[in-house]
Amino acid sequence: MLKRRILLQLAGAVLELSALPYPAIADDAGDIRSRLEQWTVDFNAGHADKICDLFSKEAISNYRGQPERGYAEICGLLKRSLTDPSKKFHYELDLREIIVEHDLAVVRLVWTLFITPLNVTSTEPGMDVFRREPDGKWRIIRYVAYEAPAVP
């Protein structure tokens, strides 16, 4: 009887702990990686209805030489790019590092953007700050990027 009571108390303690906010785990980096990879697929497929979900409503972007932008401006620019019939945009993702600490994460990455028919290629190193939002999804709250100088 004593063993059973101890096992029940232990099970209750485990259940209580599982209800607490959980610290970052290895799967968080995998979730962020998956979201970035899916965003790339959606962007390249022209799914304008899906591309804004990667960004928090509190997102702020800072791209060298451009004005700071909030969520509405970021999404508007992305949607206009995807619906521009005169150009085709294609991104490639080079994910360098994901550091997760509780409900925040920092991602080092390089985006390579190809624009046709202009034959323009832009290499854009940057850092994204993600936050796990109340719905459990990781979203970008800040990003800093710049175009890398062309190599002769």
Q: What is the mean pLDDT of each run of 10 residues along the chain (152 residues)?
A: 47 44 68 98 96 98 93 96 94 97 97 94 96 97 87 56
For residue 110, give the 3-state DSSP assignment. strand
Give the burial class of 129: count Cβ atoms within 10 A of its Cβ; 0-12 exposed, 13-18 middle, 19 or more buried. Answer: middle
pTM (predicted TM-score) = 0.80
User: All domains of the chain, ordered by start, with CATH?
Assistant: 24-145 (3.10.450.50)
SS3 53: helix
Per-residue CA distances from 73 to 50, 56, 80, 129, 130 (Å):
16, 12, 10, 18, 18
Scanning the chain, the segments in alpha helix (DSSP H) are 2-18, 26-44, 71-83
Asked if residues 145 and 108 have their Cβ atoms less than 8 Å apart, the reply is: no
Q: How far apart are alpha carbons 3 and 29 in whole angstroms?
A: 39
Q: What is the pLDDT of residue 151?
A: 58
C-beta of residue 145 within 8 angstroms of C-beta of residue 124: yes
Please tell me the predicted confidence (pLDDT) of residue 148.
Answer: 78
| Closest among 8, 33, 4, 21 to 138, alpha carbons compared | 33
